[in-house]
């Protein structure tokens, strides 16, 4: 009995459809709450080549929803840990882990090696980067995003359809908190991720009624499901294409209209007169016990200005370098000087410290 | 006419409602939004798109529909 028998006996798939699945290369951005179910179903379905890009490491608060990981994966890079688990699920396909950050510099070259891109990232900067890179490389994008008990799913840039920017032209200026700041019900990421995997398979099998040109909004509490029509804006897409020569030179931060330079923490490690500030939520790991750190979650920053030492250099970090930028912007707006945004996330900082000793 | 307004994500947290029905006689969607801004002050601070009868439209569109949805972007994953 073939591994894919239950696919093949479906008249919509057959051996021919299964061959199409085996000949497709899919890149999944992020191996988190959405990435895990996406990867699980795509691997089981027999996608020929699956790429996984994620710079983050598994921590214990991920296990509530990131179902590819277990206690034995704690501390491991998510792309690597996911690959390890998925190889056991299906050893007949090729799985490539990229344990690094997706950037404007590496996105185009990476996307060019795949047929379909799936966005399971957790921040607007990456989502707009992924969208624009899909426009430039002309790849279909299967989009999914979560807010608490709600999810959005769509297919962008497919068969001349609209892009994410046709729906939301620019990243929001205010803050929209992510899952680690506000919480998410684990099963919701499973539902939305599985829907994304389903759209990927419909694209490969050329089945009708993909979510191209439509945004599906799902509410797990009310069980309401709305499908809204999105119109294409040729002007927005042409604007991205016109600027493609400069794409690789862009910085993640420019996209969110925040003008802050990130620097390495290394230059501060041996200095006095420094206050290290961790703007992650209290539960986030790893903690940097090696340094004297003041912990103030980003949301509580404005109410805790008394904890900030005006005379010292404020060296601000978080999990990935996104919230630290927002923190520096907030402090600049409050005219608090000598604030530095650290480009490394907490895990990288810990590694740097250990490598020095 | 009576218009049903649906709220999603952070917008629903501001209004404390998933949806509501309002009697409204204006002609543009932007006029309806002005009414909602006066009803829910912090709505103004949020970015969202508007759908009319299940189709995303510009706020300068003429109000013709019976159902309006306010849709914020989500980033979580």
The answer to whether position B59 is within a domain reads: yes
Which tokens is B48 given? 């969202």
User: Minimal Cα–Cα distance from B42 to chain A, Å?
Assistant: 12
> Is pLDDT at A178 greater than 80 in this prediction?
no
Do B77 and A179 lie within an 8 Å CB cutoff? Answer: yes
Residue percentage of chain A with pLDDT more than 90: 75
Do B74 and A152 lie within an 8 Å CB cutoff? Answer: yes
Which residues on chain B are in Cβ contact (under 8 Å) with A222? 18
The closest CB to that of A120, out of B45, B74, B77, belongs to: B77
Cβ(A58)–Cβ(A50) below 8 Å: no
Which residues on chain B are in Cβ contact (under 8 Å) with A121? 75, 77
Binning pLDDT at 50, 70 and 90, where does residue A299 land?
confident
**Interface predicted TM-score (ipTM) of this complex, two decimals:** 0.94
Binning pLDDT at 50, 70 and 90, where does residue A338 land?
confident
The answer to whether position B37 is within a domain reads: yes
The closest CB to that of B49, out of A145, A168, A179, belongs to: A168
Asked if the bond preceding A299 is cis, omega within 30° of 0, the reply is no
- Asked whether the CA dihedral A110, A33, A252, A156 is positive or negative, the reply is positive
Closest-CA residue to A247 (of A144, A120, A110, A123): A110
Binning pLDDT at 50, 70 and 90, where does residue A254 land?
very low
Give per-residue pLDDT as tens, A76-100.
Answer: 999 999 999 999 999 999 999 999 9
Q: What is the mean pLDDT of residues A99-123?
A: 96
Interface of A with B (CB under 8 A): 30, 32-35, 119-124, 127, 144-148, 150-152, 167-168, 171-174, 176, 178-179, 182, 184, 189, 215, 217, 219, 222, 224, 226-231
Return d(Cα A32, Cα A36) in angstroms, integer. 6
Do B77 and A124 lie within an 8 Å CB cutoff? Answer: no
Lowest mean pLDDT among A35-49, A140-154, A179-193: A179-193
User: Minimal Cα–Cα distance from A357 to chain B, Å?
Assistant: 36
What is the pLDDT at residue A271? 86
The answer to whether position B64 is within a domain reads: yes
Using CA atoms, how far residue A133 sits from A240, A290, B1, in Å, is 9, 39, 44
Residue-number span of the structural domain to which B32 is assigned: 2-71
Do B73 and A168 lie within an 8 Å CB cutoff? Answer: yes
What is the pLDDT at residue A160? 95
Do A222 and B18 lie within an 8 Å CB cutoff? Answer: yes
Do A176 and B10 lie within an 8 Å CB cutoff? Answer: yes
By CA distance, what is B8's nearest residue in A? A150
Q: What are the sequence ranges of the domains in chain A?
A: 5-252, 262-356
By CA distance, what is A227's nearest residue in B? B54
Burial class (CB in 10 A: 0-12, 13-18, 19+), A270: exposed
> Is pLDDT at A331 greater than 90 in this prediction?
no
The answer to whether position B46 is within a domain reads: yes
> Is pLDDT at A176 greater than 60 in this prediction?
no
Residues 6+ positions from A216 with CB-CB distance below 8 Å: A152, A153, A154, A195, A225, A226, A227
By CA distance, what is A166's nearest residue in B? B56
The answer to whether position B76 is within a domain reads: no
Which residues on chain B are in Cβ contact (under 8 Å) with A224? 18
Burial class (CB in 10 A: 0-12, 13-18, 19+), A76: middle
Binning pLDDT at 50, 70 and 90, where does residue A255 land?
very low
What is the pLDDT at residue A267? 84
What is the pLDDT at residue A256? 42
The answer to whether position B53 is within a domain reads: yes
For residue A332, the SS3 value is: helix
Return d(Cα A177, Cα B9) in angstroms, integer. 11
Lowest mean pLDDT among A3-7, A113-117, A173-177, B39-43: A173-177
The CATH number of whichever domain residue B45 belongs to comes to 3.10.20.30
Query: Domain total for chain B?
Result: 1
> Is pLDDT at A137 greater than 70 in this prediction?
yes
Q: Which CATH number fits domain A5-252: 3.20.20.10, 1.10.3720.10, 3.40.630.30, 3.40.50.720?
A: 3.40.50.720
Q: What is the mean pLDDT of residues B61-66?
A: 90
Q: What is the mean pLDDT of residues A233-257?
A: 81
Q: What is the mean pLDDT of residues A314-343?
A: 87
Q: Which CATH number fits domain A262-356: 2.60.40.10, 2.60.40.1930, 3.40.50.1820, 3.40.250.10?
A: 3.40.250.10
Higher pLDDT, A182 or A173: A182
Triad A242, A170, A38: Cα angle to 5° = 95
Give per-residue pLDDT as tens, B3-58.
Answer: 999 999 999 999 999 999 999 999 999 999 999 999 999 998 889 999 999 999 99
């Amino acid at each position: 009995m073939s591994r894919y028998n239950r696919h093949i006996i479906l008249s919509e798939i057959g051996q021919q459809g299964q061959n199409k699945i085996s000949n497709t290369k899919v890149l999944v951005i992020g191996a988190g709450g959405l990435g895990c179910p996406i990867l699980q179903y795509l691997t089981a379905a027999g996608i020929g080549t699956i790429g996984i890009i994620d710079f983050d490491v598994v921590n214990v608060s991920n296990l509530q929803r990131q179902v590819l990981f277990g206690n034995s994966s704690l501390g491991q890079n998510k792309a690597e840990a996911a690959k390890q688990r998925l190889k056991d699920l299906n050893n007949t396909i090729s799985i490539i882990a990229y344990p690094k950050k997706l950037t404007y510099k590496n996105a185009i070259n990476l996307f060019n090696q795949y047929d379909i891109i799936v966005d399971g990232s957790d921040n607007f900067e990456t989502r707009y980067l992924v969208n624009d890179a899909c426009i430039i490389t002309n790849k279909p994008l299967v989009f999914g995003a979560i807010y608490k008990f709600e999810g959005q799913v769509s297919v962008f840039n497919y068969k001349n359809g609209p892009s994410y920017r046709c729906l939301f032209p620019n990243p929001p200026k205010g803050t929209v908190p992510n899952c680690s700041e506000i919480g998410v019900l684990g099963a919701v990421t499973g539902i939305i991720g599985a829907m994304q995997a389903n759209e990927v398979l419909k694209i490969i099998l050329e089945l009708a009624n993909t979510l191209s040109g439509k945004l599906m909004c799902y509410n797990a509490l009310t069980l309401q499901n709305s499908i809204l029509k999105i119109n294409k804006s040729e002007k927005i897409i042409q604007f991205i294409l016109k600027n493609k020569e400069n794409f690789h030179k862009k910085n993640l931060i420019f996209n969110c209209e925040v003008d802050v330079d990130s620097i390495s923490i290394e230059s501060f490690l041996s200095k006095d007169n420094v206050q290290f500030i961790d703007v992650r939520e209290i539960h986030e790991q790893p903690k940097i016990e090696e340094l004297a750190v003041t912990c103030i979650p980003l949301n509580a920053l404005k109410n805790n200005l008394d904890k900030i030492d005006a005379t010292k250099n404020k060296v601000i970090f978080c999990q990935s370098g996104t919230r630290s930028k927002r923190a520096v912007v907030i402090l600049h707006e409050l005219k608090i000087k000598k604030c530095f945004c650290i480009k490394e996330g907490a895990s990288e900082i810990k590694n740097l410290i250990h490598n020095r000793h | 006419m009576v218009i049903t307004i649906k709220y999603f994500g952070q917008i629903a947290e501001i209004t404390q409602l998933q949806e509501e029905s309002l009697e409204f006689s204006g002609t543009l969607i932007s006029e309806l939004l002005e009414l909602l801004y006066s009803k829910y002050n912090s709505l103004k601070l949020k970015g969202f798109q508007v759908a009319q009868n299940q189709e995303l439209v510009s706020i300068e569109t003429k109000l013709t529909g019976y159902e309006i949805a306010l849709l914020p972007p989500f980033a979580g994953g």
